[in-house]
Structure 1
Amino acid sequence: MDLLSDVVAVTRAGRPRSAHVRWHAPWRQEFASVPGSAGFQVVLEGSCWLLTPEAEPTELVAGDVVFLPHGHGHTLADSPETPATALACDPDGPEPAGSYTSGSVDRSGGDGPVTVVLCGAYRLDPSRAHPLLLTLPDLIHLPARAGGYPALSSAVDLLAAEVANPLPGADAVVPALLDALLLYILRLWFDEPSPPGSTSGWAAALNDPPVSAALEAIHRNPGWPWTVATLAAESGLSRASFARRFSLLIGQPPLGYLTWWRMTTAARLLRTSDAPLRSIASQVGYTSEFAFANAFKRTHGTAPGTYRRKN
């Protein structure tokens, strides 16, 4: 798997949820802060305002995508001046959080202009959060651009159609489209050039060919007996130059990140497969089951067998 695919695979817990919601002005909907989750809003029709405690109101128009990777609370409204007309939506609570359940919801506020929004939430496991996600800002706004994000627009159109009118197979299609939507958002964010003066962080790392090549090698084959020298060869740099560059951008040495990723991969295999421990140990680069168990316990605080039984 490649890096971004791995990020989604290891951090998501449970099934993502979404809803096709129609509001009639005047309306105002609060979305509760939900630690350990990520949310998105896509304006499909009409316009609305995004309200957050930290920033000035932002007008959203059809085609705008808003992604909140850390689950911070926010509000959507037909106007910044409209008073609250609905309780906060919480992905795990009862109605009115039902707007997060796959399907179409009509919320009558008044008889004014209509706004249609695709709302969604991803439940994440903080204990498995990839450092790439932790570096994202509290809010990512991808404004509508004519023909600017064709892949993202296609995913939105397909998802909106499936959620608004579920057909046989929707239970399989919708989660896959939500994963695609999340990946397109991450691609677009990390494909943007790093801000002037930015010399570290995952955005810079993914746009740095030598470091990106080493990361892809680690994720492509975590069980390979990588050394700083062999990873440097993948990057096309000298050993010393590569080690400095990797540590500066990623925030930890190459072998430190390699070990973390191996243990994260091992935890996923323990949760999702019945493979014997010796097989998992081999897949993440350990020839000795005993050495693997010790490394796993140092990282996760429990033995692999105990971790599997509990998860």
Structure 2
Amino acid sequence: MFADVDVVSDVISAMRLGKPHSTRTERRAPWAVRHEPFAGAGFHLVLEGTCWLTTPDGTRIELRAGDVAFLPHGGAHALAGDPTAPTEVPPVPLTAPSDDPDNDTGPRTVMLCGAYLMDRSWPHPLLRELPDLVHLPGGLGRHQSLRGAVELLATELAWPRLGRDAVVPALLDALLLYMIRAWLEDQPEGSGWTTAVRDPAVRTALLGIHSTPGRQWTVASLGELAGLSRAAFARRFTSLVGQPPLGYLTWWRMILAARLLRASDAPLRSVAAQVGYTSEFAFGAAFKRQHGLTPGAYRRKGTT
């Protein structure tokens, strides 16, 4: 019934802002750069050579060819050609041009680095569960879809070709989903969203909410969809998702409403109807409870 809806993709599309960007860099040791925190998510892919990534809490990992370092919350970090290189250097943004590889004669490191802008005002719980740093090793047989996206992106950035301006953003969008999918697949069974999206009953209910958020859902109707009694479904959903079914439904409706208000000039009554409210007044009250502004004020703020 809901085969055309994917909860993870829906979450990302609601949180994303603007277009992603990336650069291909080549450096020869010794080198070190520092990246300051930013409102988004970043990644580093090692195509050739090795480097070391260090975070402010002292975490240090070696990145080898084929490895991906994903920073879902845009945290500060440093990259260096070897573990002893100083990291207290002037910050370099992710969009910095490639260094001249002929300036030094040490081992060469070739990387793809990129960033996505994200709306952090009301982050989805799925994104909140992601750690500050996700290291996805490039071993054979692991995350083949991610490996394929990396290879395609590296090819496009290495040699300018027709259609590159359209292909690269599409590949970056795919890469973001592949990185999150790879992390989810690597997580053990437990609680929270990593388990919620695997649980057949809860996943079915989430698909229902995300596919038709404007439907007049009740706990009973969602439980029936999930194949559980009302009480059993409510307990299971709340335990895995972190909030009751109707609480999540309202929260998600308000996230969608904010996106509609930012992206269109549709009348408020139309936005209200799309997210399940027959009363514009009730919609406005619910929106203000979550966002702190009336829908009209939120729209005006977004255009200034």
Q: Do the two structures share a fold, i.e. TM-score over 0.5?
A: yes
Contact 2:42 2:70 in 1 (8 A): yes
1:250 paired to 2:237: no
1:171 paired to 2:165: yes
- Relative to structure 1, the CA distance from residue 175 to residue 241 in structure 2 (aligned partners, 3 Å threshold; closer, same or farther) is same
Instruction: Tell me, in whole angstroms, the C-alpha distance in 1 between the residues paired with 2:171 and 2:99.
Output: 19
Instruction: Tell me, in whole angstroms, the C-alpha distance in 2 between the residues paired with 1:129 and 1:166.
Output: 36
Q: Which residue of 2 aligns with 1:94?
A: none
- Relative to structure 1, the CA distance from residue 111 to residue 85 in structure 2 (aligned partners, 3 Å threshold; closer, same or farther) is farther
Which of the residues 140, 149, 155 maps onto 2:143? Answer: 149
Q: Which residue of 1 aligns with 2:26?
A: 22
Instruction: Tell me, in whole angstroms, the C-alpha distance in 2 between the residues paired with 1:25 and 1:269.
Output: 48
Q: Which residue of 2 aligns with 1:286?
A: 277
Instruction: Write out per-residue CA displacement over residues 218-258 of structure 1, whole angstroms, 9 at most, x where no aligned residue.
Output: 11111111110111112211111111111111111110000
Q: Which residue of 2 aligns with 1:98?
A: 96
Contact 1:85 1:109 in 2 (8 A): no
Amino acid at match of 1:48: C
- Relative to structure 1, the CA distance from residue 108 to residue 203 in structure 2 (aligned partners, 3 Å threshold; closer, same or farther) is farther
Structure 1, gaps ≥5 residues long: 92-96
Contact 1:10 1:128 in 2 (8 A): no
The CA deviation at 1:138 is: 1.0
The equivalences for 1:24-63 within 5 A come to 24-34=28-38, 36-63=39-66
Give the structure-2-normalised TM-score.
0.91
The CA deviation at 1:193 is: 4.2
Instruction: Write out per-residue CA displacement over residues 250-293 of structure 1, whole angstroms, 9 at most, x where no aligned residue.
Output: 11111000000001101111111232222221211112222222
- Relative to structure 1, the CA distance from residue 19 to residue 229 in structure 2 (aligned partners, 3 Å threshold; closer, same or farther) is same
Instruction: Tell me, in whole angstroms, the C-alpha distance in 2 between the residues paired with 1:125 and 1:135.
Output: 16
Which of the residues 61, 66, 69 maps onto 2:69? Answer: 66
Amino acid at match of 2:7: L
Structure 2, gaps ≥5 residues long: none
Instruction: Tell me, in whole angstroms, the C-alpha distance in 1 between the residues paired with 2:259 and 2:88.
Output: 42
The equivalences for 1:65-84 within 5 A come to 65-84=68-87
Instruction: Tell me, in whole angstroms, the C-alpha distance in 2 between the residues paired with 1:55 and 1:202.
Output: 28
The CA deviation at 1:114 is: 0.9
The CA deviation at 1:55 is: 4.3
Q: Which residue of 1 aligns with 2:92?
A: 89
- Relative to structure 1, the CA distance from residue 56 to residue 135 in structure 2 (aligned partners, 3 Å threshold; closer, same or farther) is closer
The equivalences for 1:161-310 within 5 A come to 161-194=155-188, 198=190, 200-310=191-301
SS in 2 for 1:120: strand
Give the structure-1-normalised TM-score.
0.89
The CA deviation at 1:24 is: 0.7
Contact 1:21 1:106 in 2 (8 A): no
Residue identity (%): 56
Q: Which residue of 2 aligns with 1:128?
A: 122
Instruction: Tell me, in whole angstroms, the C-alpha distance in 2 between the residues paired with 1:133 and 1:215.
Output: 16
SS in 1 for 2:17: coil
Instruction: Write out per-residue CA displacement over residues 13-50 of structure 1, whole angstroms, 9 at most, x where no aligned residue.
Output: 2222211011111212222222x221111111111122
Instruction: Tell me, in whole angstroms, the C-alpha distance in 1 between the residues paired with 2:56 and 2:279.
Output: 52
The CA deviation at 1:86 is: 5.1
The CA deviation at 1:53 is: 3.2
Amino acid at match of 2:21: R
Contact 1:27 1:85 in 2 (8 A): no
The CA deviation at 1:186 is: 1.0
Amino acid at match of 2:36: A
SS in 2 for 1:126: coil
Amino acid at match of 1:111: T
